[in-house]
Structure 1
């Protein structure tokens, strides 16, 4: 069987110590995640990050950096995901936009508020990406070609 990891993007959006997260339904559970999703055909990684953030939160953002590239194998399905995580700043909220199916809504939480509810993380990458961002992990967007 051929190993085919799924390419995904995620966006860390921080504003005054709070992080933009998505409350969503996954496998019948209400979970928290960064705005994130799969790369689509004929789309760049940066386009995917902007699209997913808008579709899942209603926020237009400006990407500012790459915070990291992660491999994660989900215990629930055994699928390996390659996540390219971006940092971004919020530009404007488009509250008239309908959000993707399965999305409950955007939530702004501090790291401490998120740390209080690890059972609600979609995966361990939720906190790892925030911690890498807070540790100063910022790589130029020119890394993405």
Structure 2
């Protein structure tokens, strides 16, 4: 099975061979819970998201990726920040792609749908803010969630 391996400031990380604009989305419901997915490629919990396709805007990609991975339709409401740390390298074992991190993280509110897993997600659930720290996440994803929960100005990095 193909997997995703995240490296951070690791001398054993592969040399990046791609840079792909992507988006992650902090989706909340009326109770303020966060929508999390459990990735099938590494078993970690994460915010929904993925690559921005040619001909697609950042908000369009965010809405599409959220629906594809979670079954939830959302409306974009804001910006958490940008994440482009060259020390974060993501290896996709299926094709040897070693991607430098490049993600824009948006906020959104759920407007329709029920949490439904997909081929990319083994689980999808609403998580109370106070419980988010109990979910296993990659370091970079955890940082994105923490920036959102702090509610500070957009992160630029």
TM-score by length of 2: 0.72
Residue number in structure 2 paired with 1:114: 132
- Secondary structure at the aligned position of 2:124 is classed as strand
User: Quick check: 2:17–2:99 contact (8 Å CA) kept in 1?
Assistant: no
Residue number in structure 1 paired with 2:3: none
Residue number in structure 1 paired with 2:151: 136
TM-score by length of 1: 0.77
Match of 2:48 among 12, 32, 35: 35
1:1-145 mapped onto 2 (5 Å cutoff):
4-15=18-29, 16-26=31-41, 29-72=42-85, 73-74=88-89, 76=91, 78-93=98-113, 99-117=117-135, 120-121=136-137, 123-137=138-152
Mind listing any 5+ residue stretches in structure 2 that lack a counterpart?
Answer: 1-14, 93-97
Considering only aligned residues, what root-mean-square deviation do their CA atoms show, in Å? 2.5
- Secondary structure at the aligned position of 1:85 is classed as strand
Q: Matched residues in 1 for 2:140 and 2:125: separation? A: 17
Q: Describe the shift of the 1:42–1:25 C-alpha distance in structure 2 as closer, same or farther (beyond 3 A).
A: same
Q: Matched residues in 1 for 2:62 and 2:117: separation? A: 15
Deviation of 1:3 (Å): 6.2
Mind listing any 5+ residue stretches in structure 1 that lack a counterpart?
Answer: 140-145
User: Quick check: 1:56–1:105 contact (8 Å CA) kept in 2?
Assistant: no
